[in-house]
A and B are shown apart, each in its own frame.
Chain A
């Protein structure tokens, strides 16, 4: 089992997919920071002073980490950052789900989705599952890299 899960054939595909996902997630946010700031604001978690700077920096972190994975450079650093961000996203969405604050996650699209409250709450559960899936992808690449090292 370990042999298959850490096989380079699988690892390179997971790594490229993860990199592509993060590049795709970053681009809409980079092109429209005010909309992303609005999304961050809707989470009601960050202090006011950190909202805009987060909206400016976070997409670039995602882009650089995604590119690092695609190019295969600074892999462990990129995986650490992506893993940390995913954990933070999962916690942030879970907190809002727990307090029934229905929000658009702003993960890949910063335009308003015009969903109902119930649809948004349903989407938030899906986003948590999706982020857990991506966290497993991070774990796979990290594990494979550790085995090879």
Chain B
């Protein structure tokens, strides 16, 4: 066989092997084709697009204790507001900080109004804690393996890099098909820093009419730094 034909054969074999491997891969290792990347060729912005404190009313501070955890695990979450989790066997809880100040119960719709004109608003750790404490749906946009290693208590996994992202988005849409439900705030986070997974997920959700999405800019590392409650395992 001539080298050119060999080149074609090698690339063709790689194509077939790649597609077959993807077809039989586990759910969290599978890629969907062609993929959804609205900013694939745009350079990442140097500055955050919109800060919540600029776009919304003045932030309500939520103090999260900085002292290291010293007591065994409790079921109480950061705010004292329970997160609906079934506490299955696989799930483990990390140590919660103690004592915990109880953040103010607020009217989310007033404090975090819908913003249909933009896909998302970036929020700080204080606002993220406030949203979480007041029962806002929290989504973890990181890979499932990262989620299982530790996530914000009550957060659901919805990785933009895994093939079932559309199924999960559709499920979420079905759960919140009522237009009023779609105006409820949703908090999304990933790994902070230059991580864009949460922004990508926010754009995806905005595309299906979720109009009140907040991206926790500093993400999970900041949450850990603030000693927010963290759960491990595959359940919220």
Contact = CB atoms under 8 A, between A and B. Distances in A.
Whether A and B are associated in the same complex: the answer reads yes
Contacts of A32: 29
Contacts of B212: none
20 contacts: A30-B21, A32-B29, A33-B21, A33-B25, A34-B31, A34-B143, A34-B162, A35-B161, A38-B161, A44-B42, A46-B41, A48-B36, A49-B34, A52-B35, A57-B15, A59-B18, A63-B14, A64-B14, A74-B6, A77-B9
A21 to B, nearest CB: 17
Contact of A81 (B7, B15, B28, B43): B7
B34 A56 contact: no
A76 B159 CA distance: 41
Given A48-B37, A76-B3, A56 B10 contact: no
Interface in B1-43: 1, 3-4, 6-7, 9-11, 13-15, 17-19, 21-22, 25, 28-38, 40-43
Interface of chain B, main secondary structure:
loop
B182 interface: no
Nearest to B11: A61
B69 interface: no
Interface string B135-165: 0000000010000000000000001011000
Interface residues of B, number: 39
Contacts, number: 111
Given A44-B40, A81-B10, A60 B34 contact: no
B116 interface: no
Nearest to B193: A114
Interface of A: 30-35, 37-38, 41, 44-53, 55-61, 63-65, 68, 74, 76-78, 80-81, 99, 101-102, 112
A101 to B, nearest CB: 6
A48 B169 CA distance: 19
Nearest to A57: B18
Nearest to A73: B6
A56 B18 contact: yes
B10 A65 contact: yes
